[in-house]
Amino acid sequence: MRRFLMLLALLCGLAPALVVPLRGWTPIAGDASRWQGGGGECLIREMRHTQAFPALPTQQSATAVANRLRASLSKASLSEVTTQAVDRGATWAVLAGYVYAEGGARYRVSQLYLSDGGKLRTISGSSAAGTSSPCAASMREFIRYQAE
């Protein structure tokens, strides 16, 4: 039954629930859209938005979106903003990295922007900025290379 549901989701252009295949990572309160690792030092969150976000069929289209996103994030009081197009096989996505400050704390964020059935889907990972938690490197690597 699970295979059937995954196949149905793929045929409809919708991604199944996020699975984080990293050792020691667990869903938060059984919610497959929120994961924690490193005893809570690192968090990954998947969000499905209602905002239209067409598929990015080429590196050029993804780079154009990445450039617009970088300009937008830089205006949003975020620091150390970077963006890049990332290959996802048959399509492209955009990866953003930035530092976000709230309540005196700073967080390093990696955020992947994907098209899911023509709608925006983001996978975001965060950890305290300036720390070298082992979960942070594996989290960023997962988001950059594996998250779908």
Give the tens place of pLDDT for each residue, 36-88.
Answer: 998 899 999 999 999 999 999 999 999 999 999 999 999 998 999 999 999 99
Q: What is the pLDDT of residue 9?
A: 40
Per the structure, the complete domain to which residue 88 belongs is given by: 18-146
Q: Mean pLDDT, to the nearest integer, of 10-24?
A: 63
In a domain, 130, yes or no: yes
In a domain, 29, yes or no: yes
Q: What is the pLDDT of residue 32?
A: 87
In a domain, 70, yes or no: yes
Q: Which residue has the higher pLDDT, 18 or 117?
A: 117
Classify 54 as helix, strand or coil.
coil
pLDDT category, 18, cuts 50, 70, 90? confident
In a domain, 23, yes or no: yes
Q: Mean pLDDT, to the nearest integer, of 12-22?
A: 64
3-state secondary structure the chain: CHHHHHHHHHHCCCCCCCCCCCCCCEEECCEEEEEEEHHHCEEEEEEEEEEECCCECCHHHHHHHHHHHHHHHHHCCCEEEEEEEEECCCCEEEEEEEEEEECCEEEEEEEEEEEECCEEEEEEEEEECCCCCHHHHHHHHHHHHHCC
How many folded domains does the chain comprise?
1
Q: What is the pLDDT of residue 72?
A: 96
> Cα separation of 96 and 108, whole Å?
11
Q: What is the pLDDT of residue 130?
A: 85
In a domain, 126, yes or no: yes
CATH number at residue 31: 3.40.1000.10
pTM of the model: 0.85
Q: Which residue has the higher pLDDT, 34 or 14?
A: 34
Give the tens place of pLDDT for each residue, 111-140.
Answer: 999 999 999 999 999 999 988 888 999 999
In a domain, 8, yes or no: no
In a domain, 44, yes or no: yes
In a domain, 1, yes or no: no
